[in-house]
């Protein structure tokens, strides 16, 4: 089969598109013929050796695959050959991938494979952040940085389903238009963040901030949080890990809350499964619909990752063998 292979950590252009042996499912595993593989910001970090976890080399990047099961390993009881599933796995940038039965989810009838991939990490992260970590309540104000990206558009839609007033923050007119189309109540840029958020909230400030950007955006958020607010630390797409002015958390009485979706799924698997059931239920009811920017050939993985790493992508991107 064809796959993307990272021989050693380094530039994205060093990725190879080549023939590799077909994988085989082990006990408790299924073999999936890939219809779509999700692309995520951490994929590029992993390839460059900049992520928290560093896989043995060579390896195939990618952690989301949706498609048809073509073989099952010993002990698999929930699925059979021909079922369409999506899974959180390793080695997703390939024509076939192996997933654990425990982390596979059946696709609702007719669900697009790229939509299904979006539901795993991007939507899973935003859902967990707003539900478990922020415990966001109807009527609260949610500010979302990077609101036109995959996790940002997910946070807009999920925030609206959960009853929040959403203020989306985007870096360009084009991205602001996308955030509006996704359902944001207000859309602003990064200039004068503190003053604009204060004005839109009648001086109160934000109850919840969803920050996947870091840098100057985080610094502004630390100054416009409402009392009892929750500043969610999702990531640092700006490239700058900011320093927290702890005196402001004391004076303003807000919390800074870390969000590490991957660790949480392993630590609380039952809650993770319940979250995914809720997300797929919302999808089936037409309450949410991932924004898919495009579907690109698997061979173009390096170019697609460069766009994602440079914050040039909107919504979710999928690779298609």
* CA distances, 150 to each of 40, 62, 115, 147, 253 (Å): 8, 15, 11, 8, 30
What is residue 53's predicted lDDT score, i.e. its pLDDT?
84
pTM: 0.91
Q: Could you write out the DSSP letters of every residue in 254-292?
A: -EEEE--HHHHHHH-HHHHHHHHHHHHHHHHTTS----E
Mean pLDDT by 10 residues, the chain (321 residues): 97 97 97 97 94 93 98 97 96 97 92 96 97 98 96 97 98 96 98 97 98 96 98 92 95 97 94 95 95 96 93 88 94
Range list for CATH 3.40.50.720 in the chain? 123-262
What is residue 269's predicted lDDT score, i.e. its pLDDT?
92
List Cβ<8 Å contacts ≥24 apart for 166-174.
Answer: 166/142, 167/141, 167/142, 167/143, 167/197, 167/200, 167/206, 168/144, 169/143, 169/144, 169/145, 169/193, 169/217, 170/146, 171/311, 174/314
pLDDT digits (tens, 9 = 90+) for 75-100: 999 999 999 999 999 999 999 999 99
Domain covering 123-262, topology: Rossmann fold (3.40.50)
What is residue 314's predicted lDDT score, i.e. its pLDDT?
86
3-state secondary structure (DSSP) of residue 307: helix
Q: Furthest-apart CA pair in the chain: how many Å?
A: 60
* CA distances, 84 to each of 22, 78, 179 (Å): 19, 12, 31
Range list for CATH 3.90.180.10 in the chain? 2-107+291-320
What is residue 312's predicted lDDT score, i.e. its pLDDT?
73
pLDDT digits (tens, 9 = 90+) for 128-167: 999 999 999 999 999 999 999 999 999 999 999 999 999 9
What CATH number has the domain spanning 2-107+291-320? 3.90.180.10
């Amino acid at each position: 089969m064809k796959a993307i292979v990272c021989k050693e950590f380094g530039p994205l252009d060093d990725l190879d598109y080549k023939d590799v042996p077909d994988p085989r499912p082990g006990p408790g595993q299924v073999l999936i013929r890939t219809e779509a593989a999700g692309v995520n910001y951490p994929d590029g970090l992993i390839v460059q050796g900049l992520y928290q976890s560093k896989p043995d080399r060579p390896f195939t990047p990618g952690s989301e695959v949706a498609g048809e099961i073509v073989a099952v390993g010993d002990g698999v009881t929930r699925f059979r050959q021909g079922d369409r599933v999506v899974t959180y796995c390793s080695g997703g940038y390939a024509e076939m991938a192996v997933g654990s039965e425990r982390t596979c989810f059946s696709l609702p009838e007719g669900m697009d494979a790229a939509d299904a991939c979006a539901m795993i990490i991007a939507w899973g992260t935003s859902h967990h952040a707003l539900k478990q970590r922020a415990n966001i309540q109807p009527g609260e104000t949610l500010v979302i940085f990077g609101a036109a990206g995959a996790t940002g558009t997910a946070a807009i839609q999920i925030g609206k389903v959960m009853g929040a007033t959403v203020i989306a923050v985007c870096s360009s007119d084009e991205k602001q238009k996308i955030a509006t189309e996704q359902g944001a109540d207000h859309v602003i840029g990064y200039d004068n963040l503190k003053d604009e958020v204060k004005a839109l909230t009648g001086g109160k400030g934000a109850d919840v901030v969803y920050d996947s950007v870091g840098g100057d955006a985080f610094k502004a958020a630390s100054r416009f949080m409402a009392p009892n607010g929750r500043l969610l630390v999702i990531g640092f797409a700006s490239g700058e890990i900011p320093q927290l002015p702890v005196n402001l958390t004391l004076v303003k009485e807000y919390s800074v809350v870390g969000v590490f979706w991957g660790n949480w799924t392993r630590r609380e698997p039952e809650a993770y499964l319940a979250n995914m059931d809720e997300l797929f239920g919302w999808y089936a009811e037409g309450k949410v619909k991932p924004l898919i920017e495009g579907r690109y050939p698997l061979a173009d993985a390096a170019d697609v990752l460069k766009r994602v790493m440079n914050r040039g992508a909107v919504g979710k991107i999928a690779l298609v063998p």
